[in-house]
Amino acid sequence: MSQEGLLRPGIAQLRVLDMEESVRHYVEYIGLELVGTGDDGRVYLRGYDEFHRHSVVLREADEAGIDFFAFKADNQKSVDRFRKNLEAYGLEVRDIPAGEQPGVGARISFTVPTGHDIQIFAEMELSDSPNAPETKNPYIWNVEPKGMRAQRMDHCLLYGPDINEVEKIFTECLDFQTPERVETPDGTLGIWMTVSNKAHDIAFVNHPEPGKLHHLAFFLENWSDVGHAADIMTRYDISRDVGPTRHGITRGQTIYFFDPSGNRNEVFAGGYTYYKDQPPRVWDHNNVGRGIFYYERQLNEAFLSVVT
């Protein structure tokens, strides 16, 4: 897919209950790099294969969950185009000034019907870390990754109402495609959406309560690394939800687990390559178990219902 307009997921800001425990989880166990702590106490993190300054932000709060999910655009002209599209659709677009997060330019923010704050930005400083990916005669990694060896923040799954309207906004205003979906006799249960060649960059599941986080996912290199992540979880008594297993939807290899605040994480490898001329893949309610958990072929009720 032509990489113009929106490029990829850029920033996820999570609410956590205990910052010290959370930093240990995301840095020592998942393997993100600690970039720094802001004057307001927010902590900034990046995966070892990410060129830009940060991709995950932790904010200490009284309730776990997600503050916002942001996408990186190729330039400010694209951001301005998306603003016009969103305003013409009838959404209120808010401005976040440059510098609200260190190294990040101006952002626009809007709330979709699921109750989530979605943001778009074009400018972020490149990482100045000695661990950042090299660009001249590069090694595969500069400093040996630790923990689960997370390469990057990859995608999120959000829960809320009226996902059909959300799909219209993302496709008509932001140039997303919907490679995969789950349909039931009562309507659409879930949509997996992409603005790249990945099987998904964001997903939504229909849920009565707005603004909920199902999981934030981190990309690993291969299936062997997923197994290594399971070893890390067992060694350090990390609360595991499901896996190691595989999805029918997206074909990704996966484990779900929880951070100390109860936010669900995923480590994810594989997944098919998507092109926008491909027909959508549609799952019906009789086969959704195999779609979500390909080997087990049945759903875990807690997996569907536990959100933050």
What are the catalytic residues? 155, 200, 215, 247, 256, 266
The Cα–Cα gap between 206 and 225 comes to 31
Asked if 50 and 76 touch (Cβ cutoff 8 Å), the reply is no
Q: Beta strand 56-60 with 264-270: parallel, antiparallel or unpaired?
A: unpaired
Name the DSSP class of 250: T
CA distances from 295 to 241, 248, 253, 266 (A): 15, 9, 11, 17
Tokens of 35: 């970039």
Asked if 206 and 189 touch (Cβ cutoff 8 Å), the reply is yes
Asked if 255 and 240 touch (Cβ cutoff 8 Å), the reply is yes
Q: How many helices (DSSP H) and strands (DSSP E) are in the chain?
A: 6, 17
CA angle 51, 56, 59 (to 5 degrees): 150
Beta-carbon contacts of 75 under 8 Å, excluding residues fewer than 6 positions away, are 122
Using N-to-C axis directions, what is the helix angle for 76-89 and 163-174, rounded to 10°?
Answer: 140
Residue holding tokens 């039931």? 184
Query: Residue 165: enclosing H or E segment and its boundaries?
Result: helix 163-174
